[in-house]
């Protein structure tokens, strides 16, 4: 990446995040200026102190030494304080940005979040920043860069003063090689060689390390997965049941060996770069002392100025070396920062309408699928084909069909998690894309088949909120069939420890699978939305609990429209309207009795299950 474009892109990122902390820019500038100034205090005072010592003006030399010590100490303390402040502020700012990154998927539409490539890019970029340095590191690198620029300016000013000093030796050849022209050419050659050769070496090493890092990242992901796996009780149970300990251990060892190999190679390239930089520094030190020695011999400068100018040349070249190295560090970080910026810049694919949803206490919301076709982004086959149907108001609608019929996709389209590929869905005659998206979602209480519970308190899980009505939570838990656990649940309803083991993996030491499913149902009831959608709501329940839920079905949903999906055909008897899907098409519709009489797919599915419940 070219230097100009590199810093242009970096400044865009800094400008974007400047509003999060307006003090960071000025703070970095002041910190870099002070840090760049500190080494030159001793350099500036070295000549007058040595000069006074040569002239045996010890008191004056002592006074200069005290002033130098006080200034060095004072500015050194100030530099350390500012550096610490930069570290604290930049870390805090980086954490804010990481929060923005984590919150981004919550603000994206479902289709974007479910896109594997989007999440893969985000995960890779985020993990890369975890290992290679985040926004805080970027800010610190810029502070280092600015510090070295300031050091270079101070050093070059002193070096140019050295260069323009004419030799007064009795030897013509000595006066010639120490003349301003030769001196300036010498400095330019050193700058060009350092920035050119060192730049190529450092860039080569960084490119090799970056190539290794992409490989190492895959190994780190695999290792992280294995580490999570052995903490997952279901996976441990599976490993032990199938005697797969050797398989897992072997994969662990191979992955660890690969990670160690990659780290070793990375260290090799890093060491090559460090050795070349150390050699360059040593060579520059020798040349600097040699050049200043010639100036002293030519009587161009005094002996007391020897240390000042030699240190100035060394500092100048150190600054060049550091600027080359830091620029490469910034370039490497920016590769991954740009990936994260692309992720943060992702826009929702869905249209966000402006029409507000009419608040109706009578729940008179009429939904209609109008010739809806749908296929997933990376699939050429349609999952739903020419679906045309209305959802009758205040009815209990059963959505039935074999696996892969499109039932869950039907629900996701209704909830506007996806947009139809062709056709449209309307609410009260208006295309749902014209409604305010958030208000439209407020119409639905959904229990998905693959529901999740949070590692929060039980009340927060039911209410999906920090603030909630405890009495309402209790009523919803009672309705979902958890009234038998009142003492156990209500005493600890605000305690995080009550449900602390529940996370994305669905693990809990406190609740069984059936109890967790009832919590999910209670959450849907707490929302009190106009349309209730239950996707396999009793899959984890025992037959008695399932029967209890069905018996109180009307109590659970009241007069609201309810869409119900289940593979247990016995649940269909509680539905007044049944839609049968097969191969993405509606093949039957009616109530339980009428569909049985038709003797088609619904009847076949019913009879296939009913025989297992027959009494001998």
- Write out the H or E segment, with its range, that includes residue 578: strand 577-582
How would residue 502 be classed by pLDDT, with cut points 50, 70 and 90?
Answer: very low
Residues 249 and 385 in one domain: no
Which stretches within 108-134 are classed as H helix? 110-114, 116-132
Q: Is residue 358 part of a domain?
A: no
Q: Does position 359 have pLDDT exceeding 80, yes or no?
A: no
**Does 337 share its domain with 384?**
no
Q: Are residues 118 and 178 in the same domain?
A: yes
pLDDT (0 to 100) of residue 386? 94
In terms of Cα–Cα distance, which of 563, 525, 526, 529 is closest to 361? 529
pLDDT value at position 615? 47
Residue labelled with tokens 């539905």: 575
* Same-domain pairing of 192 and 294: yes
Pick from 133-147, 192-206, 257-271, 361-375: least confident: 192-206
Q: Parallel, antiparallel, or unpaired: how do β-strands 384-391 and 367-374 relate?
A: antiparallel
d(CA 410, CA 24): 50
**Confidence band of 172 (pLDDT split at 50, 70, 90):** confident
> Is residue 506 predicted with pLDDT exceeding 70?
no
- pLDDT for position 62: 92
Residue with tokens 């050795």: 275
371/298 same-domain check: no
Give the confidence band of 609 by pLDDT, cuts at 50, 70, 90. confident
Residue 332 and residue 371 in one domain: no
pLDDT at 493 over 60: no
Is residue 328 domain-shared with residue 385, that is, in the same domain? no
The reported pLDDT for the residue numbered 116 is 66
Inside any domain, residue 362: no
pLDDT band at 600 (very low <50, low <70, confident <90, very high): very high
In the predicted model, is pLDDT for residue 526 greater than 80? yes
Q: Is 90 within 8 Å of 140 (Cβ atoms)?
A: yes
Does 385 have pLDDT greater than 90?
Answer: yes
Q: What is the pLDDT of residue 552?
A: 65
Between residues 38 and 279, the one the model is more confident about: 38
What pLDDT sits at residue 589? Answer: 94
Quote the CA–CA distance of 347 and 608 in Å, as a whole number.
47
Residue 360 lies in a domain: no
Instruction: Please tell me the distance from the alpha carbon of residue 594 to that of residue 598, in angstroms, as a whole number.
Output: 6
Helix (H) or strand (E) holding 155: helix 135-163
Contact at 8 Å (CB) between 533 and 446?
yes
Query: Does 70 or 111 have the greater pLDDT score?
Result: 70
* Residue 520 in domain: no
C-alpha distances in angstroms, 90 versus 18, 25, 27, 152, 470? Answer: 11, 10, 10, 25, 41
Do 313 and 380 lie in one domain? The reply is: no
Nearest-angstrom CA–CA distance, 538 and 287: 82
pLDDT > 60? residue 494: no
- The answer to whether residue 357 sits within a structural domain is no
Could you tell me which residue, 552 or 594, shows the higher pLDDT? 594
pLDDT over threshold 80, residue 140: yes
Q: Give the tens place of pLDDT for each residue, 38-68.
A: 988 988 888 888 888 888 888 998 999 999 9
Q: Which helix (H) or strand (E) holds 390?
A: strand 384-391
Please state, in angstroms and as integers, the Cα–Cα distance from residue 592 to each residue in 138, 404, 570, 602, following that order.
65, 22, 10, 9
Give the C-alpha separation, 389 to 603, whole Å. Answer: 21
Q: Compute the Cα dihedral for 37, 39, 40, 41 and give only its sign.
A: positive
Residue with more model confidence, 291 or 375:
375
pLDDT tens, position by position, 436-449: 888 898 899 888 87
Do β-strands 561-565 and 531-535 pair in parallel, antiparallel, or remain unpaired? Answer: parallel
Whether residue 495 lies inside any domain: the answer is no
- What's the CATH code of the domain at 413? 3.40.50.300
Predicted local confidence at residue 498, as pLDDT: 41
Residue 550 vs residues 68, 292, 472, 547, 612: alpha-carbon distances, Å: 87, 95, 21, 5, 19
- Non-local CB neighbours of 319 within 8 Å, separated by 6+ positions: 148, 149, 151, 152, 155
Average of per-residue pLDDT across 399-406: 90
Q: How many residues does the chain have?
A: 616
Note whether 194 and 137 are same-domain residues. yes
What pLDDT, on the 0 to 100 scale, is given for residue 540? 59
Query: CA 468, CA 582: separation in Å to the nearest integer?
Result: 42
CB 338 within 8 A of CB 5: no
Higher per-residue confidence, 366 vs 120: 366
| Paired tokens of 127 | 């993990």
Closest residue by Cα to residue 100 from 336, 345, 335, 333 = 345
Let me know whether 120 and 202 are in one domain.
yes
Q: Which of 40, 34, 260, 18 is nearest to 155 (CA)?
A: 40
How far apart, in whole angstroms, are the C-alpha atoms of residue 239 and residue 248?
8
Whole-number pLDDT of residue 367 = 92
Residue 67: both structure tokens together: 């002033």
Q: What pLDDT was estimated at residue 548?
A: 67
DSSP structure string for 414-475: HTTSS--SEEEEEETTEEGGGB-HHHHHTTEEEE-TT----SS-HHHHHHTSSS--HHHHHH
Which pLDDT belongs to residue 311? 85
pLDDT digits (tens, 9 = 90+) for 543-556: 666 666 666 666 67
User: Does residue 492 carry a pLDDT above 50?
Assistant: no
Q: How confident is the model at residue 183 (pLDDT cuts 50, 70, 90)?
A: confident
> Looking at residue 550, what is its pLDDT?
66
Average pLDDT over residues 424-431: 93
Residue percentage of the chain with pLDDT more than 70: 88
Contact 533, 563 (CB under 8 A): yes
Look at 375 and 325; give whichever has higher pLDDT. 375
Residues 263 and 165 in one domain: yes
173 found inside a domain: yes
As beta bridge partners, residue 358 has none
Average predicted confidence (pLDDT) for the chain: 81
Q: Identify the pLDDT of residue 507.
A: 41
Considering only residues 467 and 498, tell me which one the structure prediction assigns the higher pLDDT: 467
SS3 532: strand
**Token duo for residue 455:** 């590692």
Give pLDDT, residue 81: 93
Same domain, 199 and 233: yes
Separation CA 339–CA 335 (nearest Å): 7
> CATH number of the domain that 66 lies in?
1.20.1560.10
Assess whether pLDDT exceeds 80 at residue 281: no
pLDDT bracket for residue 75 (50, 70, 90)? very high
Residue 581, by phi and psi: left (phi above 0), alpha (psi -120 to 50) or beta?
beta
Q: What is the pLDDT of residue 612?
A: 63
Q: Are 579 and 414 in contact (CB under 8 A)?
A: no
Question: Which of 303, 329, 344 is a domain's end point?
Answer: 344
> Mean pLDDT throughout 153-179?
84
- Which pTM was predicted? 0.68
How many Cα atoms sit within 13 Å of 420 on the Cβ side? 21
Domain encompassing residue 601: 367-443+529-613
Query: In 10 A of CB 459, how many CB atoms?
Result: 26
Q: What is the largest CA-CA distance in the chain?
A: 126
Residue environment code for 562-584, b if the CB has 16+ CB neighbours within 10 A, otherwise e: bbbbbeebbbbebbebbbbbbeb
Bridge partners of 561, per DSSP, are 531
* pLDDT given at position 489: 45
3-state SS assignment for residue 610: helix
552 assigned to some structural domain: yes
Give the residue-averaged pLDDT of 597-610: 88
In the block, tokens 């070396």 appear at: 321
How many structural domains comprise the chain? 2
């Amino acid at each position: 990446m070219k230097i100009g474009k590199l810093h242009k892109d970096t400044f865009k990122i800094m400008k974007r995040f400047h509003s999060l902390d307006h003090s960071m820019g000025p703070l970095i500038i002041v910190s870099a200026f002070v840090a760049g100034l500190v080494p030159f205090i001793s350099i500036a005072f070295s000549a007058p102190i040595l000069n006074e010592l040569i002239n045996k003006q010890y008191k004056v030399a002592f006074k200069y030494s005290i002033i130098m010590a006080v200034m060095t100490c004072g500015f050194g303390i100030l530099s350390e304080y500012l550096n610490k402040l930069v570290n604290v502020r930049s870390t805090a700012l980086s954490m804010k940005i990481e929060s923005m990154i984590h919150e981004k998927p919550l603000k994206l539409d479902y289709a974007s979040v479910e896109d594997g490539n989007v999440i893969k890019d985000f995960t890779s970029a985020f993990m890369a920043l975890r290992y290679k340095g985040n926004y805080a590191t970027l800010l610190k690198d810029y502070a280092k860069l600015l510090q070295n620029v300031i050091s270079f300016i101070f050093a070059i000013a002193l070096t140019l003063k050295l260069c323009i000093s004419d030799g007064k030796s009795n030897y013509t050849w000595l006066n010639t090689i120490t003349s301003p022209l030769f001196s300036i050419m010498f400095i330019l050659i050193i700058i060009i060689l350092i920035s050119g050769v060192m730049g190529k070496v450092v860039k080569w090493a960084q490119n090799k390390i970056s190539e290794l890092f992409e490989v190492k990242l895959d190994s780190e992901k695999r290792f992280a997965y294995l580490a999570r796996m052995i903490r997952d009780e279901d996976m441990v149970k599976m490993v032990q049941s199938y005697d797969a300990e050797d398989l897992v251990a072997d994969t662990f060892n191979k992955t660890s060996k690969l990670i160690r190999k990659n780290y070793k190679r990375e260290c090799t390239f890093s060491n090559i770069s460090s050795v070349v930089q150390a050699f360059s520094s040593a060579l520059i030190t020798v040349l600097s002392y040699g050049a200043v020695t010639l100036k002293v011999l030519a009587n161009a400068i005094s002996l007391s100025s020897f240390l000042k100018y030699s240190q100035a040349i060394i500092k100048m070249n150190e600054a060049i070396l550091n600027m080359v190295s830091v620029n490469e560090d910034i370039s490497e970080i920016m590769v991954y920062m740009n990936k994260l910026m692309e992720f943060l810049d992702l826009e929702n694919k869905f249209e966000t309408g402006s029409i507000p949803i009419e608040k109706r206490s009578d729940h008179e919301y009429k939904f209609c699928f109008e010739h809806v076709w749908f296929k997933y982004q990376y699939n050429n086959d349609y999952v739903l084909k020419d679906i045309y149907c209305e959802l009758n108001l205040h009815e209990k609608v059963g959505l039935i069909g074999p696996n892969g019929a499109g039932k869950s996709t039907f629900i996701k389209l209704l909830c506007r998690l996806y947009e139809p590929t062709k056709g449209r869905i309307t609410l009260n005659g208006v295309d749902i894309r014209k409604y305010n998206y958030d208000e439209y979602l407020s119409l639905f209480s959904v229990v998905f088949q693959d529901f999740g519970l949070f590692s929060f308190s039980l009340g927060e899980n039911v209410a999906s909120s920090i603030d909630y009505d405890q009495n309402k939570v209790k009523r919803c838990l009672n309705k979902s069939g958890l009234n038998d656990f009142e003492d156990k649940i209500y005493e600890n309803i605000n305690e995080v420890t009550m449900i602390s083991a529940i996370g994305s993996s669905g693990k809990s030491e406190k609740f069984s699978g059936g109890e967790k499913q009832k919590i999910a149902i209670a959450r849907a009831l707490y929302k009190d939305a106009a349309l209730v959608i239950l996707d396999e709501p009793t899959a984890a329940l025992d037959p008695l609990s399932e029967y209890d839920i069905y018996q109180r079905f009307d109590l659970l949903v009241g007069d609201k429209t309810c869409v119900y999906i289940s593979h247990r055909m016995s649940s269909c008897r509680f539905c007044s309207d049944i839609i049968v899907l097969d191969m993405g098409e509606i093949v039957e519709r009616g109530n339980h009795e009428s569909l049985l009489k038709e003797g088609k797919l619904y009847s076949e599915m019913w009879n296939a299950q009913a025989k297992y419940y027959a009494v001998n």
